[in-house]
Amino acid sequence: MMEKSYSERFQIFDENYPRILEEIAKAAEKAGRKPEEITLLAATKTVPLEVINHAIDQGLSCLGENRVQELLEKYDGLHKEHCDIQFIGQLQTNKVKYLLGKVSCIQSVGSVKLAKEISRLCLKENTSMKVLIEVNIGREESKGGVMPEALLETVDEIRQLPGIQIAGLMAIPPICENKAELCGYFSAMRQSYVDIAAKKIDNVRMDCLSMGMSSDFPEAIACGATMVRVGSSLFGKRDYPQH
Ligand SMILES: *Cc1c(COP(=O)(O)O)cnc(C)c1O
């Protein structure tokens, strides 16, 4: 496949961005919510730096990268002063050190082991990190995240680690046959989010419920998402297959 030129990619983004913002606003209003309650995070894996910066210049204010290596390659050139950068991919413990001071949040903390390493390095570097606890809401073997039945206990363990602030939950539900099944997963996430918030646990905030991607963000908003992570619907189909 021929690689698209930057100007083609800019144009794709310019067409998609207002449409996605409008779809987010519509989904919010339909659910009786305010559009401002929902943050659009652009999933920028495989998207070239120039295109991401164009997006930021058009007003994009939050992005998420999946791979540490790719984030580091782009990091210095990013128009960071206008955009919040988060990490949304699977993370190996030996790569945590590269993220400290670079991302505002690690959304994909699915184990106490990973959280402990984040905590250890934060202490060492005299810094802190916001995290979302990733929930394996479909209990899929292929996916990371905490099993739903272990969520409370895991939150309780992670919140006690110094240097870490739990800021919410994140999930990637399984591929579903229909919207009802999908909404079942999203609603279960929302319920956990509300239940944990109601407990008012020390050092646990439920500020962010990150769920919904290109194919299902309106449903996620209907079910209570406060952040949607959208990639291909903003930037076009990715050129390279990504694990
Ligand atoms: C790629 C990715 C997305 C966005 O996926 P699209 O289907 O392209 O919108 C969202 N979340 C995570 C964790 C991703 O890796």
Say yes or no to pLDDT of 242 above 70.
no
Ligand 1: residue of 229, 234, 240, 242 to mutate (most ligand atoms within 8 A of CB) is 229
User: What is the bridge-based pairing of β-strands 84-87 and 164-171?
Assistant: unpaired
Pocket of ligand 1 (CB under 6 A): 43, 45, 66, 88-89, 172, 213-215, 229-233
Taking residue 76's Cβ as centre, other Cβ atoms within 10 Å add up to 8
Say yes or no to pLDDT of 147 above 70.
yes
Question: What are the φ and ψ backbone dihedral angles of 205, each rounded to 5 degrees?
Answer: -115, 145
pLDDT bracket for residue 239 (50, 70, 90) = confident
Residue 1: what pLDDT?
Answer: 60
Instruction: State pLDDT tens for residues 155-212.
Output: 999 999 999 999 999 999 999 999 999 999 999 999 999 999 999 999 999 999 999 9
Residue 243: what pLDDT?
Answer: 46
Tell me which residue has its CA closest to atom 14 in ligand 1: 43
Residue 174: what pLDDT?
Answer: 96
Distance CA 54, CA 6 (A): 10
This prediction has a pTM of 0.96
Which percentage of the chain shows pLDDT scores above 70? 98
pLDDT bracket for residue 3 (50, 70, 90) = confident
Say yes or no to pLDDT of 2 above 90.
no
pLDDT bracket for residue 4 (50, 70, 90) = confident
Distance CA 134, CA 35 (A): 24
Long-range contacts of 28-36 (CB under 8 A, 24+ apart): 28/221, 30/222, 31/221, 31/222, 31/224, 33/221
Average of per-residue pLDDT values in the chain: 96
| Ligand 1 atom nearest 217 alpha carbon | 9
Instruction: State pLDDT tens for residues 32-70.
Output: 999 999 999 999 999 999 999 999 999 999 999 999 999
Using CA atoms, how far residue 127 sits from 13, 62, 130, 153, 237, in Å, is: 35, 21, 11, 25, 37
Ligand 1: residue of 44, 213, 237, 238 to mutate (most ligand atoms within 8 A of CB) is 213
Residue 241: what pLDDT?
Answer: 56
